[in-house]
Amino acid sequence: MTRAMIIINPSSGKEKAAEVLPKLKQVMESLYDEAVVRETAKEGDAVYFAREACSQEFDAVVSMGGDGTISETINGLAEESHRPDLGIIPLGTVNDFARALKIPLEPEHAIELLTSQKTVPVDIGKIDDCYFMNVLAIGAIAEATYAVSAEQKTRLGPLAYFIEGIKAFINKTPFKLTVEHDEGKWIGKAYLVVSALTNSVGGFESIAPDAEVNDGKIHTFIIKDISFPQIMKIIPRLLKGELEQHDQVEYIRSSAITVSASEDLVVNIDGDEGEPLPFEAKVLPQHLNVFVPA
């Protein structure tokens, strides 16, 4: 008997999750003998439900919601010996993981791709005792994402994070950073650090163009202490996927990194406030099978 679990955040996407749930359930019932629905009500519910699906050896888990719901689902699956295939129905503001996997951002189209039953193995990251699917960030711009309101997200989408980041730059303070990686150690002053598992960061799909979803590497960009005119010159390179070529950007490609700083800083994990520095992050290569377009 085949079974699938749908984990849904009913408040996601201006409550669009509830609107498209009947179609998703219908599709899953056509593919599996049983499809059960679990609705989240509070933080941590998706983690619990995903672990339940693992312990009961479900064949598939479909996570419908924003990046937070999907991140929780991945954290629930990551440690388990039996890990069901993962489906993603994106309803968030940025949806970086879905973008990197070419999963349609329209939920109806994302549901349709499940019918092909095509999966690819993808990397996830582990930072201390938690897991991430996309990006780690350190610095003023990373911290500015916490200031983005729900209204800004709705009105401006990924651009809201960019605007708050520019505001944060005005009061920037560089910090001394140490990054240990596969090839050695980098020490210097930095303004921003972005470590990506995929090519999509903050809704921009050109920041880490060489990053593949299953290449086993964390792609780290260290933006050194630079002036405002210099950051304006970096932006065009960022949009063209040429960030690593700027002389004020250090690019590190590694299977693991250990990061420490001269002051008290917190790493942003997939858009949320995470662990204080220092931290160690590593790639779990091809750890989850995820449904993708045929």
Mean pLDDT per 10-residue interval, the chain, length 294 residues: 95 78 96 97 96 98 92 95 97 84 94 96 94 86 56 53 56 84 94 85 61 91 70 52 60 96 88 86 97 94
- Residues 30, 151 share a domain: no
- Residues 193, 101 share a domain: no
- Residues 219, 92 share a domain: no
Domain boundary among 59, 86, 117: 117
- Residues 155, 190 share a domain: yes
Three-state DSSP class for 253? strand
Quick one: which of 150, 78, 65 has its CA closest to 110? 65
- Residues 108, 8 share a domain: yes
- Residues 272, 156 share a domain: yes
- Residues 229, 203 share a domain: yes
pLDDT of res. 238 = 52
- Residues 11, 76 share a domain: yes
Q: What is the pTM of this model?
A: 0.83
* Residue numbers of the domain that contains 100: 3-117
Domain boundary among 66, 90, 117: 117
Is residue 154, in this structure, part of any structural domain at all? yes
Is residue 232, in this structure, part of any structural domain at all? yes
Q: Per DSSP, what are the bridge partners of residue 122?
A: 288
Residue 54 backbone zone (phi > 0: left; psi -120 to 50: alpha; other: beta):
alpha
Is residue 173, in this structure, part of any structural domain at all? yes
Quick one: which of 167, 251, 190 has its CA closest to 217? 251
CB-count exposure of residue 22 (10 Å: 0-12, 13-18, 19+)? exposed
pLDDT of res. 135 = 87
Do strands 60-65 and 3-8 pair parallel, antiparallel, or not at all (unpaired)?
parallel
Is residue 292, in this structure, part of any structural domain at all? no
Is residue 122, in this structure, part of any structural domain at all? no
Is residue 123, in this structure, part of any structural domain at all? no
282: domain CATH number? 2.60.200.40
pLDDT of res. 132 = 93
- What is the total count of domains within the chain? 2
Domain boundary among 64, 85, 117: 117
Tokens of 72: 């929780």
26: domain CATH number? 3.40.50.10330
Hey, what amino acid is at 164?
E
Is residue 129, in this structure, part of any structural domain at all? no
CA distances from 103 to 98, 112, 222, 259 (A): 5, 10, 29, 32
- Residues 173, 104 share a domain: no
Is residue 165, in this structure, part of any structural domain at all? yes
- Residues 107, 182 share a domain: no
- Residues 221, 190 share a domain: yes
- Residues 201, 85 share a domain: no
CA 180 from centroid of its chain's CA atoms: 22
CB-CB contact of 119 with 245 (8 Å): no
Quick one: which of 115, 121, 161, 108 has its CA closest to 270? 161
Instruction: State the number of CA atoms in the 13 A half-sphere of 10 facing the CB.
Output: 8
**DSSP label at residue 97:** H
